[in-house]
Amino acid sequence: MTRYRLNIEYDGTFFRGWQMQPDAPTVQEEIERALTTLFGGREIRIMGSGRTDTGVHAVGQVAHAELPEDRDPGKLLRGLEGQLPEGVRVWRVEPVGEEFHARFDARERQYAYRILKRPNSFLGRYGWLVPYPVKMEQIIDATPLLLGKYNFRPFSTRPDDEESTDCELRTLEWREDRFGWVLHLAADRYLRRMVRTLVGTLVEIGGGRREVETLQTLLSQGIGRAGVPAPPQGLALMRVRYDIDDAEDSPEPSLWGEFS
């Protein structure tokens, strides 16, 4: 048995999330099925760094798998390419030590959320066109308030499922391009729906539907109601960082732009 790390990208449009439903195709299932075929029917399970909701995309999801025998990583990659359906791709396979755990060893997770400037027939499934006017300057101004370690309980849909509701947001940066704006985030961990709820709350501020002070109250006192979560199709899991990262572990070029 050898443990491998897989770097994965997927178009969330086509799947019911990473691992959500027992009766709908998930990314995890597709990869497990492909690996099982490549290893002659021997059942193989994989462990992801974390789940993503239905409709959420990934450029740099990470998983580990216990494979029944050593295989050349290049051959494994090509084999997976031949087995996986459109919209999901393993772009790197590396042998790792037996102690590596995709979920427990992750020390940082990076996400990106795209807001569209105008309707777009090609990017509509990869961004959010806010259905009311928003002032981006107000959103950009309010964003740094979220930086730091806080109890993000009000920003989770199921806070009681979590061991802790403390998260440390380390990066929050809006980048403009010709399609709109992309928020790049990095944190040690996130609660359920947290990124989408953060974006939804910021957009309500930019739309004049919420005072910026409510954000401060939510963060400092855990009191009040956060915004409606932004829709899933704007969100992508960009990268998961580990102590064993190397240069080739950088995410592939993507519609959400580069992440430094």
118 vs 158, which CB is nearer to a second copy?
A: 118
Minimum CB separation of residue 36 from a second copy in Å reads 21
Residue in 53, 72, 141, 161 annotated catalytic: 53
CA angle (126 as vertex; 202, 212 as ends), nearest 5:
0
Minimum CB separation of residue 57 from a second copy in Å reads 7
Helix (H, G, I), strand (E, B) or coil at 248: helix
96 vs 255, which CB is nearer to a second copy?
A: 255
- Chain centroid, CA 149 distance in Å: 20
| Interface residues toward a second copy, by CB under 8 A | 9-11, 57, 81, 86-89, 91, 118-124, 126, 177-179, 252-255, 257-260
Minimum CB separation of residue 11 from a second copy in Å reads 5
- Annotated active-site residue 160? The verdict is no
Minimum CB separation of residue 259 from a second copy in Å reads 8
88 vs 226, which CB is nearer to a second copy?
A: 88
Which residues make Cβ contacts (< 8 Å) with residue 168, sequence separation at least 6? 148, 149, 187, 188
Whether residue 30 contacts residue 85, with contact meaning beta carbons closer than 8 Å, is answered with yes
72 vs 177, which CB is nearer to a second copy?
A: 177
Cα separation, 248 vs 260, in Å, equals: 13
Name 239's bridge partners: 110
Q: Say which DSSP state 128 is in.
A: B
Residue with tokens 């025998």: 69
Catalytic residues, which ones?
Answer: 53
